[in-house]
Structure 1
Amino acid sequence: MGDKPPGFRGSQSWIGCVEASLCLSHFGGPQGRLCHVPRGAGLKGEVEQLYSHFSGGGGPVMVGGDADARARALLGVCLGPGTEAYVLVLDPHCWGAPKNPNELQAAGWVGWQEVTKAFDPNSFYNLCLTSHNSEKQLHTLD
């Protein structure tokens, strides 16, 4: 796509959510809208946006950070019995066909995590909210 130096091609280097969004657009995939969260503690403030995204038919949300470099995808959000907010987290390294959903959860590939405990409060995060529909979403950095 021309956004990386020539030595990047064929390397083992990682890309982040910004590059993933560019790839989706370049290769004709679902549209991705970027949201930057300066600190992990701020992700609790994004729960309404995530809820709106998923309830509106939005697809998985790719998540990448700096100090917290674990790759993950968000598949849903919910509110707990108190004021706790939870995200359904999928490890994107998961592959193969599981026998059932319980197998994925037991192996730690997917599970509900409390937002305040799932993210490093000192790391920034980029979220790439993907769209299932064919409508073009704006590529913005919130």
Structure 2
Amino acid sequence: MGDKPPGFRGSPSWIGCVEASLCLAHFGGPQGRLCHVPRGMGLQGELDRLYSHFSEGGGPVMVGGDADARAKALLGVCLGPRTEAHVLILDPHCWGAPENPTELQAAGWVGWQEVATAFDPNSFYNLCLTSRLEQQQQKQQHTLDC
């Protein structure tokens, strides 16, 4: 895309959520909306936004942080009756086609984790909330029809 120095291509360097969002836009993928959370403990304040995102049909949420270098993809949110909350996390390093969904869970690639323990309270996080491509195309088509 031209946003990285020439030596970046083929290097073991990683991109973050901001770059992932730029890639989605550049290559015509689903729209990626960025949300910056200054500290992991602030994710509690974003749970309603994440819940709405998923309940309205939003796609996976890419997560990257600074002190917490473990990449994550959020696939869902479960809000409990009190303050407990869990997120369905997929390790983005997972690849290949599993025989069945339980295989992913048994191998530790995907699972529900409590928000309080899944995120480092001192790390900042960038979230890239993706739309489903079909939804984006439908919205564009509707705009053209009006």
Q: TM-score, normalised to structure 2's length?
A: 0.89
Runs of at least 5 residues in structure 1 that lack an aligned partner in the other structure: 137-142
Shift of 1:80: 2.6
Number of positions where the alignment pairs a residue of Structure 1 with one of Structure 2 = 136
Higher helix share: 2
Deviations 1:52-88 (A, max 9, x none): 1011110000000000011110000011353201100
CA RMSD of aligned residues (A): 1.1
Report SS of the residue matched to 2:54.
Answer: helix
Runs of 4+ with deviation above 4 angstroms: none
Gapped regions of structure 2 (runs ≥ 5): 141-146
Alignment match, 1:107:
107
Letter in 2 for 1:129: L
* TM-superposition CA deviations, 1:98-134 (whole Å, max 9, x none): 1222111111100001111100000000000000121
Give the whole-Å Cα distance in 2 for the aligned partners of 1:7 and 1:106. 38
2:131 is equivalent to residue 131 of structure 1: yes
Which protein, 1 or 2, shows the higher relative CO under an 8 Å CA cutoff with sep ≥ 6?
1
User: Which letter maps to 2:26?
Assistant: H
The residue identity in structure 2 corresponding to 1:113 is: Q
Partner of 1:78: 78
Which residues in structure 2 correspond to 1:1-142 (within 5 Å)? 1-132=1-132, 133-134=135-136, 135=139
What amino acid is aligned across from residue 12 of structure 1 in structure 2?
P
Identity of aligned residues (%): 85
Distance 2:105 2:117 in 1: 18
Question: Whose radius of gyration is greater, 1 or 2?
Answer: 2
